[in-house]
């Protein structure tokens, strides 16, 4: 199981939001590329990067910052936030992004998702962000008016191999993750799921690890790592 440190970019800075609320921003660094290098040196094998400006605006906004991250490390990254066009995917893959995360478009533009899956295969993953079981879109600002389980069940039909599932209500709250809910999404979709939102303790990682058979293959961790609530080296040992 992979542990993916999260780097969220807003106005070129590495930040964390609480429950996706842009009014509850905490800035961790002016230089996300330095943060990325620190995680690599700590043993990370993959990084999870979100363009928060892009997610809110519906247009990729921090590609130059993302490029600086890639130039500063030698481990793969996945990027999401505001990816609505094939040219967005092309541009990100061209600068060295390993995987591109499609979020809102999975609800609003299934034809785009199918085309992306056909053209780029496993380099495309779907981000399902849900609040109380209902998908949220546009940087978590709006309701997608669809149950997360329903969307997850459709994903496999596109030929997508991985979902990143985020429980918005738990994101940034340090209240722990609902491993059973993540496992249910994995079982409902029949494809691999990376858990995100609320991973707070080593027990959370153990619980996710215990559900590997359901299809959980990784965990994205943000605030708990930045605030030292989780020891990254211990998290890696449990996951591996």
* pLDDT > 70 in the chain, percent: 88
Within 121-222, residue ranges assigned H as helices are 148-155, 179-189, 202-210
pLDDT of residue 142: 47
Is 133 a residue whose pLDDT tops 90? no
Q: Does residue 98 carry a pLDDT above 90? A: yes
Span 40-94, pLDDT tens digits: 999 999 999 999 998 888 888 999 999 999 999 999 999 999 899 999 999 999 9
Q: 26 versus 131: which is more confidently predicted?
A: 131
Listed in sequence order, the residues at least 6 apart from 234 whose beta carbon sits closer than 8 Å to its beta carbon are 202
Coil, helix or strand at residue 220:
strand
User: Can 8 be counted among the known catalytic residues?
Assistant: yes
Is it the case that residue 144 has pLDDT exceeding 60? no
- 175, 168 contact by CB (below 8 A): no
Catalytic, out of 51, 53, 88, 129: 129
Query: What would the DSSP string read from start to end of 189-208?
Result: HTSEEEEES---SHHHHHHH
Higher pLDDT, 177 or 170: 177
From the candidates 8, 51, 167, 171, which is the catalytic residue?
8
Q: What is the pLDDT of residue 174?
A: 65
Say which DSSP state 212 is in: G
Question: End-to-end alpha-carbon separation of the chain, Å?
Answer: 6
Out of 22-31, 123-132, 207-216, pick the least confident. Answer: 22-31
Q: Flag whether the pTM goes above 0.75.
A: yes
pLDDT at 169: 66
CA atoms of 187 and 189, how far apart (whole Å) = 5
Which one, of 96, 91, 86, 88, lies nearest residue 55 by Cα?
88
Q: Is 51 a catalytic residue?
A: no
174, with CB counted inside 10 A (0-12, 13-18, 19+), is middle
β-bridge pairing 192-196 and 162-167: parallel
pLDDT in tens, 178-230: 898 899 999 989 999 999 888 999 999 999 999 999 999 999 999 899 989 99
CB 219 within 8 A of CB 4: yes
Percent over 90 (pLDDT), the chain: 57
């Amino acid at each position: 199981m992979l542990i993916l440190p999260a780097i969220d970019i807003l106005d070129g800075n590495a930040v964390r939001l609480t429950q996706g609320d842009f009014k509850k921003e905490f800035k961790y660094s002016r230089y996300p590329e330095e943060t990325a290098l620190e995680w690599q040196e700590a043993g990370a094998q993959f990084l999870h990067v979100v363009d928060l400006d892009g997610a809110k605006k519906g247009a990729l906004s921090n590609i130059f910052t993302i490029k600086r991250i890639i130039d500063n490390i030698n481990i793969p990254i996945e990027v999401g936030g505001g990816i609505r066009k094939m040219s967005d995917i092309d541009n990100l893959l061209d600068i060295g992004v390993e995987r591109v995360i499609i979020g809102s478009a999975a609800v609003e533009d299934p034809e785009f998702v199918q085309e992306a899956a056909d053209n780029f295969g496993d380099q495309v993953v779907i981000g399902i962000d849900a609040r109380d079981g209902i998908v949220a879109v546009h940087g978590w600002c709006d309701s997608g008016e669809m149950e997360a389980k329903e969307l997850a069940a459709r994903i496999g039909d596109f030929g997508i191999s991985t979902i990143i599932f985020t429980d918005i209500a738990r994101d940034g709250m340090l209240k722990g993750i609902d491993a059973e809910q993540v496992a249910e999404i994995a079982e409902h979709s029949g494809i691999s799921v990376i858990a995100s939102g609320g991973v707070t303790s080593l027990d959370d990682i153990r619980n996710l690890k215990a559900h590997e058979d359901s299809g959980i293959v990784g965990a994205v961790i943000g605030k708990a790592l930045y605030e030292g609530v989780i020891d990254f080296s211990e998290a890696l040992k449990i996951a591996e």
